[in-house]
Chains A and B, each alone.
Chain A
């Protein structure tokens, strides 16, 4: 296959794509040189697939035959630019976490717990609201006031102490807590969310694991902040194999991990096994015994 042949095929495919449905005429026999080329050329097959998906999506957007909408009716709008405030908030959040290190779920907002405690977040105009939902588990409910108290401490430190390092530390704690509360908000607002107790190796209740279809939150107050060369790693163990989830973050005495399942999960939380936390070296082999464990529903 020469480059010229391939380039020619690519051009002819683009021409075929101009006519809706014309790609369907593409054959794969030797009597159709373009079809034969496509059959033998992975790049061109991907090209054809992409055009077909595009055309299928256009048809899908128009709706079923009996209720079809003209493309002209979908083409009568104006561009809707994103608000400048969102850009500012997003870039500020990114910059803040870049300064203090990547943190899970660093979104801006306000924390409301039990409808009584309000902690203004650093990003104006956006509210992440955490309500102590009636449907939340008792163990989760116990931890929420603690989260709010930690947020107050963090903000207070930011207001009263003008030393740059402390401000930065306060800012990082706020960012961490905001991210966790944002995830918690989404979990609690999902009626299908699940909570299970975390327990120590000795079986003592030690925290909560809560998740919805898209978010996971792990909260505990029994862990001590690790030494600088150690981290607490979260994982899911199934059939003797551990799949990493992330490392625990600390704000005061609360250790947590939160994040969107949608971005990382390739394993289900509903298929049994165990969720665990173990103290591991920052680098090097992992696999230490669990210090916290939760049985996952099968």
Chain B
């Protein structure tokens, strides 16, 4: 298969090819998702070096176990995200038990938030509460993914989705505010939401029974 044709394949087909040992499919899958997984993991861990190690772990795991992906249980990207999230949490837990040093990457307003909240082992089995560290970790991962997706979005798409969500403006109000045809606003918002949906709809959920993860929990459960 030519590189161009390979690029057209959806993630599920690529994973099937990877499961058969297809290195070209693996390269395509890596190039398609490595930046998103790395960006999310860096923002989650707030440490580039650790995120790089997690990313390497994730893709080695994908290479070795692509045959275990089941499309009936969620999207391929959701499966990749689940692996990355689990590895990132493992790393965060390990880091939280080591002597701290000032992190090189502190470009986040939450950079000094204690990672001790990761000391959640055992408690997660007791079920989530709003102040449960599991909920906080889940939110932190989702927030890291949203940040990454918004950062990768063209500014004009980012602008309309921010206006819609932050200021609760309707599409016509956004069109009026920006002085542009409503059709343009709609098409930009659609593209922006399609990007967000591709990333967020299958985010694995750590919390059993969460409404946000009602449909997306299955990949995470399987990933466990």
Contacts and interface: CB of A to CB of B under 8 A. Distances in A.
A108 B57 CA distance: 9
Contacts of A102: 21, 64
Interface in B94-130: 94, 97, 107, 109, 121-122, 130
Interface stretch (A82-90, A111-119, A288-296): A82-90
A126 to B, nearest CB: 6
B23 interface: yes
Secondary structure at the B interface, as helix, strand, loop or mixed, is helix
B23 A98 contact: yes
Nearest to A83: B52
Contact of A63 (B42, B139, B190, B213): B139
Contacts of A214: 86-87, 90
Contact of B193 (A18, A79, A261): A18
Contacts of A192: 121-122
A94 B215 contact: no
A213 to B, nearest CB: 8
A279 to B, nearest CB: 23
A73 B146 CA distance: 11
Interface of A: 14-15, 17-20, 49-51, 53-54, 56-64, 69-75, 77-83, 85-87, 89-91, 93-95, 97-98, 102-108, 126-127, 179, 182, 186, 189-192, 213-214, 259-266
B158 to A, nearest CB: 5
Contacts of A262: 82-83, 86, 223-224
A61 B190 CA distance: 20
Contact of B143 (A61, A78, A213): A61
User: Could you say which of A186, A189, A190, A260 has the most chain B C-beta atoms within 10 Å of its C-beta?
Assistant: A260
Given A60-B212, A61-B146, A186 B90 contact: yes
Interface of B: 21, 23, 26-27, 30-31, 34-35, 37-39, 42-43, 48, 52-53, 55-57, 59-61, 63-65, 68, 82-83, 86-87, 90, 93-94, 97, 107, 109, 121-122, 130, 138-139, 142-143, 145-148, 150-153, 158, 161-162, 164-166, 168, 170-171, 186, 189-190, 193, 196-197, 200-203, 211-216, 222-224
B83 A94 contact: no
Given A77-B147, A262-B224, A264-B65, 18 more contacts: A50-B215, A56-B211, A57-B146, A59-B212, A73-B109, A77-B43, A79-B148, A80-B148, A80-B151, A86-B56, A86-B59, A91-B30, A94-B63, A97-B63, A126-B52, A190-B94, A263-B61, A264-B68
A79 B56 contact: no
Contacts of B224: 261-262, 265
Nearest to A264: B68
B139 A81 contact: no
Contacts of B94: 186, 189-190
Contacts of A18: 164, 171, 186, 189-190, 193
Given A75-B150, A82-B55, A259-B64, A15 B186 contact: yes
Nearest to A94: B63
Contact of B150 (A19, A63, A71): A71
A61 B56 CA distance: 26
A72 B162 contact: yes
Contacts of A20: 164-165, 168
A72 B215 contact: no
Contact of B197 (A51, A60, A95, A191): A51
B26 A91 contact: yes
Contacts of B165: 20, 58, 62, 71
Nearest to B192: A18
13 contacts: A19-B171, A50-B197, A57-B142, A58-B146, A60-B142, A71-B162, A80-B39, A83-B48, A90-B56, A90-B59, A91-B30, A94-B59, A106-B64
Nearest to A56: B212
A53 B200 contact: yes
A70 B56 contact: no
B111 to A, nearest CB: 13
A172 B206 CA distance: 36
Contact of B164 (A19, A64, A91): A19
Nearest to B27: A91
A108 B212 contact: no
Given A18-B164, A98-B21, A53 B121 contact: no
